[in-house]
Structure 1
Amino acid sequence: MAAGQQGAIMGFVHRRRRGAELFLLVLALAVGIGAYAAVGIGVEGEVPVDLLGYGGWLAGLVVAAHVVIRFVAPYADPVLLPVVAALNGLGLAVIHRLDLADGTTFARQQLTWMTLGVVLFVGTLVVLRDHRVLTRFTYTSGLAAIVLLLLPLVPGLGKTINGARIWIGVGPFSFQPGEVAKVLLVITFAGYLVLHRDALALAGRRLLVVDLPRGRDLGPILAMWLVSLGVLVFQRDLGSSLLFFGLFLVMLYVATERPGWLVVGSAMFLGGALVAWRLFGHVRTRVDIWLDPFAYYGEGTSDQSYQLVESLFGMAWGGLLGRGFGEGNPERIPYAESDFIIGAIGEELGLTGVMAVLLLYGLIVERALRAALISRDGFGKLVATGLASVFALQVFVVVGGVMRLIPLTGLTTPFLSYGGSSLVANWVIIALVLRISDLARRPAPSVGDSAGEDASAAETTQVVRLP
C-alpha cells in the first residue's frame, strides 16, 4: 500500500450523522403511528381516540433513545435505531389489529415491554462505554447462559407452553430465559474464540478439498452440539437448538476462516436432527406437518397443522398488495400475535409488506456486519458478527417456518412479535451493536493516550486494506 493511501485511511474520520438518524426516526414514527391510525380506520371506521397519547409515548421513547446516543455514542451507526423503531412500531400496530378482533390487550402490554426495552437500551449504552470490558466475563457469561437454559427444566419453575418447555413462571409473569442466554453466549463465544482461534485454525487432515480440524480441537463444537441436542430433546424447542448451534458455527468459521468447521458442524447437526427425528415423536410430528400439512388439517384429522394452513391461506388471499388493515381475517390464525405475525402481515399487507419487513431485517444484519468489519479489535468483530447472526438465523427459521420452507420452530420474530423477554433482549442487542459501531467509527486514539489504549495498541492500529 502506498504511503499516501495509508495516510488517507488513517486520517479518515467518520461523520457523526446524528441529524440523518433524527430524520430517519421521523420516517420510522410515520410508519408506526400511521399503521396504528390505519388499523383504527380499517377496523372501526375512525381514527383511534388514543392516537395522540399512543403516538406521543412512542415518539418520546425513540427520541429519548436518540438523545442518549447523541451524548454517549455520537459516532454510532445512524441507521440501526430508525430501522428498529419502524419494526417495533409496525409490530405494535399489527398486534393492536389482532386485539380489536379478539378482544385482548396484547398491544398495551407490548408497549410496556418496549418501554422497559428502551430503558435497558439506554442503560447499556450509558454503563458500557467500551465493549472490550466484556472479555472479563467470558466464562461467567457462559456459566450464566447454561444456568438460564436449564431453568425451564426445574420442576415447579419451568412451564410448558405450546409443547415447548422454554419458559419459567414467577407469579403471574412468564419469562423466556433463552432470550437472555443467546446474548450471553455471543459474549462467551467471542471471548473464547479470541483466545483460542490460533489452535482452532491449525490444519488437520485434508479430505477431498476440505481441511478438517484435528480431533482434539473438536471439543468446543462437540460441546455445543450436545447443548443444542439437549435443548431439542428436553425442551422440545427446535428453533433455539438451531439458533444456538448455528450461532457458534458461524462465529467459529469467522474466527478461524476454515470451511472445514462448517462441514463438520453441519454434518453433526444434520446427524443429530436425524436421530432426534427417529427417536422422538414431537420432532417427527413437526417434520410430518412440514412435508404434508393438509394431511393434518380439517375434519377427520388431528388438526395439528391448523395454524400453519390458516396462515398459508391468509397469505395466499393477501396476494401482492394485501387486503388492507381490517379487511382480512388474521385472527383465524392461532397465536398470530406471536409465532405467526408474519402470516398476519402477509394477509393484510401482502407480499409487498412482507418483503419490506425482510428488507428492514436485512438492514439490521448488514449494519451489524459493517460494524464488525470496521471494528479495531478481534473481540468486537466477533461480538458484532455473532449478534448479526442471531438476527439472521432467527428471522430465517421463523419466516422459513411460516412459509413452509423449513419445519416450524416456535421462535418469535424480532421486534414484531408479542413477547416481553424477546423484545427486551433485542433492544439490548441493538445497544451492544451501537456501542461497537461507535468505538469503531470514532477517530482512532493516538498511541500513548492512556495505559489502557497502549495495552490494546496492536488491535487499534490495524490498517484496512483497500481492494
Structure 2
Amino acid sequence: MTTQLPAPVAVTPPLPTRRNAELMLLCFAAVITVAALLIVEVNQERGVHWDLASYGLGFLTLFGFAHLAVRRFAPFTDPLLLPVIALLNGLGLVMIHRLDLTDHQGGQHDHPSADQQMLWTLVGVTAFALVVILLKDHRQLARYGYIAGLTGLVLLAIPGLLPSSLSEQNGAKIWIRLPGFSIQPAEFAKILLLIFFCAVLVAKRGLFTSVGKHVMGMTLPRPRDLAPLLTAWVVSVGVMVFEKDLGTSLLFYASFLVVVYLATQRFSWVVIGLLLFAGGSVIAYFLFGHVRVRVQNWLDPFADPEGSGFQMVQALFSFATGGIFGTGLGNGQPDTVPAASTDFIIAAFGEELGLVGLAAILMLYTIVIVRGLRTAIATRDTFGKLLAAGLASTLAIQLFIVVGGVTQLIPLTGLTTPWMSYGGSSLLANYVLLAILARISHAARQPIRTRPRKKSPIAAARTEVIEKV
C-alpha cells in the first residue's frame, strides 16, 4: 500500500501595511522642517542653537504618536497621507515663526505666534489619533447623517445670530468669541454637512436618479426632486448674505454639487446648481455692499491701493518680488501683506520660495487629493466612496478658492490654507477630516477575510476514506 503525501497548501503572504515607509517619510518631513527653520534663523542672523534640534525632536515625537495610533488601529491606511500633511503643517509653522521674528524686531507683539500654532497642532494631532482609535468603521457615520446635518446647520447659523462684538472680524461674522477662547464653527460644519449629504444621497439615491425631462441632451430632474438642491442654495446664499462669508458659502455649495454629481452621474444637477449660484451671486452683488467691494477689488485692486485694495496689491507685489526661485526663507518682506499668517500665507511662501517652491507646495496638496480620490475608487461601500470623494473634493475646492483669491484669479474669499495657515479651528477640523479619510483608506486597502467553506457530510466522509487508502 502506497502512502500519498498531502497536497501542498498555498500560503498567501500577508499584504504589506507600509507603516515603516510612513515612519521614514515622517522622519524626512521632520528633517525638511528643521532645515527650513535653520535657514530662517541663519538669514535672520539669529545664529544656530540646540533648541532647533529639540524642536525637530518634539515635532517628530508628536507625529510619531499619530503614527503609532495608525499602526495599531488602522494599519492599512495609505502611507502617504500623514507624512505629507506633517510636512505641510511643519512648513506652515516655519513661516508663522518667520513672521513672528519680523514682528518682534519691529516692536509688534499682536501677531499670532508659532507657539500658539504648535499648541493647536498638538490638539489637532491628538484629535486625529482619537478619531482613528474610536471610529472603528466609517460606515457608522451614516447612521448619524441627519444629526450631523442639523448640527452643521446650527453651527453655521450661530455666528449670524450673535452680536457683532462676539462674532465679527474683518467684516465677516464667522466667529464665536468667548472670554479667552474663540472658534470658527464653519470649519466643523463643512465636515458635518458633507456626512449628511453622503448619507442622504446613499439612502435616497433613487430620488435623485429618477426620470425627468430631456432637454438639450440632458435629463433634467423633476421639480419635486429639486428640494435638496434648493435647500442647499438657500443656506449658502444665506451664509453669504447674513454672515458676509463668501468663502464658506462657495465651499459649502460646490462640495454639495460635487457629491450630487458623483452619486447620480447626471450633469444636469451641476448645470442647475451653477445657474442657481450664479443667480444668487448676481442678486447679492446688487443688494449688498460688501459683495460689490470684493468684486471690485478683484477686477481692479489698484483703483484703491491704499484702501480696500491694499491687501491684494501687497500680495501681488510679493509674488512679483519672489519671481521664479524666491528671495529665500527669511530674506523677504512677507510682513508687508496684512494677514500674512492666515488668509495670505500663500503670498508669503510665493515671495520667499518663488514659483518653484509654491508649485512644490501645491504638488503636496495634489498628492493628498489624488490619494483621497484613489481611496474613493478602492472603497467597497457606496457611503465610503461618496464620503472619501467628498472629503478630497472639499480640500481641492478650498485650495482653489484660497490660491485663486490670493492670485487674483477669483474674488478674495477669506478662507485659510488647510494645515498651513494660523488658526486653531481650521487646524483641528482639518485633522479630523484627515482622520476620517485615513479610516476609509484603511477599509479600502484592508484585505477581505473569507471564511473556509464548510464541507458537506458526504464530502467529508469521502475525503476521510481517500486519506485512509
Q: TM-score, normalised by structure 2?
A: 0.90
User: Could you give the per-residue CA deviations for residues 171-227 of structure 1, whole angstroms, max 9, x where no partner exists?
Assistant: 121110001111101110110000111220123111112111111110001000000
Does 2:298 match 1:294?
A: no
Partner residue in 2 for 1:403:
407
The answer (yes or no) to whether the contact 1:397–1:406 under 8 Å persists in 2 is: yes
Partner residue in 1 for 2:52:
51
Partner residue in 2 for 1:283:
291
Correspondent of 1:154 among 161, 165, 169: 161
Partner residue in 2 for 1:142:
149
Does 2:80 match 1:79?
A: yes
* 1:333-352 mapped onto 2 (5 Å cutoff): 333-352=337-356
Does 2:247 match 1:243?
A: no
Does 2:429 match 1:429?
A: no
The answer (yes or no) to whether the contact 1:13–1:441 under 8 Å persists in 2 is: no
* 1:92-241 mapped onto 2 (5 Å cutoff): 92-103=93-104, 104=111, 106-156=113-163, 158-241=166-249
What's the offset of the Cα at 1:13? 7.5
What's the offset of the Cα at 1:44? 2.4
Partner residue in 2 for 1:33:
34
User: Could you give the per-residue CA deviations for residues 407-449 of structure 1, whole angstroms, max 9, x where no partner exists?
Assistant: 0000000011000000011111111001001011111133799
Partner residue in 2 for 1:420:
424
SS of structure 1 residue aligned to 2:44: helix
What's the offset of the Cα at 1:46? 1.5
Amino acid at match of 2:95: V
Runs ≥4 in structure 1, deviation > 4 angstroms?
11-14
Does 2:279 match 1:305?
A: no
Query: RMSD value over aligned CA atoms?
Result: 1.6
Q: Which is further off, 194-203 or 75-84?
A: 194-203
Partner residue in 2 for 1:364:
368
Q: Return the alpha-carbon distance in structure 2 between the equivalents of residues 14 and 389 of structure 1.
A: 29
The answer (yes or no) to whether the contact 1:168–1:175 under 8 Å persists in 2 is: yes
What's the offset of the Cα at 1:385? 0.9
What's the offset of the Cα at 1:35? 1.1
User: Could you give the per-residue CA deviations for residues 281-313 of structure 1, whole angstroms, max 9, x where no partner exists?
Assistant: 100110000000000103xxxx11111110110
Partner residue in 2 for 1:68:
69
User: Could you give the per-residue CA deviations for residues 247-301 of structure 1, whole angstroms, max 9, x where no partner exists?
Assistant: 1100000001111111111111111111111111100110000000000103xxx
Amino acid at match of 2:25: L
Relative to structure 1, the CA distance from residue 56 to residue 216 in structure 2 (aligned partners, 3 Å threshold; closer, same or farther) is same
Q: Return the alpha-carbon distance in structure 2 between the equivalents of residues 403 and 191 of structure 1.
A: 36
Q: Return the alpha-carbon distance in structure 1 between the equivalents of residues 113 and 452 of structure 2.
A: 54
User: Could you give the per-residue CA deviations for residues 39-58 of structure 1, whole angstroms, max 9, x where no partner exists?
Assistant: 11111241255212321211
Partner residue in 2 for 1:6:
none
User: Could you give the per-residue CA deviations for residues 80-126 of structure 1, whole angstroms, max 9, x where no partner exists?
Assistant: 00100000000000000000001245111000000000110000011
Q: Return the alpha-carbon distance in structure 2 between the equivalents of residues 401 and 176 of structure 1.
A: 20
Relative to structure 1, the CA distance from residue 320 to residue 210 in structure 2 (aligned partners, 3 Å threshold; closer, same or farther) is same
Does 2:111 match 1:90?
A: no
Amino acid at match of 1:70: R
What's the offset of the Cα at 1:152? 0.6
The answer (yes or no) to whether the contact 2:112–2:341 under 8 Å persists in 1 is: no
Correspondent of 1:374 among 372, 378, 397: 378
Paired residues in the alignment total 435
| Runs of at least 5 residues in structure 1 that lack an aligned partner in the other structure | 1-10, 450-467
Share of identical aligned residues, percent?
A: 49
Q: Which is further off, 103-112 or 186-195?
A: 103-112
What's the offset of the Cα at 1:12? 11
Partner residue in 2 for 1:262:
270
The answer (yes or no) to whether the contact 1:231–1:240 under 8 Å persists in 2 is: yes
The answer (yes or no) to whether the contact 1:40–1:48 under 8 Å persists in 2 is: no
Q: Return the alpha-carbon distance in structure 1 between the equivalents of residues 293 and 410 of structure 2.
A: 13
Q: Return the alpha-carbon distance in structure 1 between the equivalents of residues 26 and 18 of structure 2.
A: 12
| Runs of at least 5 residues in structure 2 that lack an aligned partner in the other structure | 1-11, 105-110, 454-469
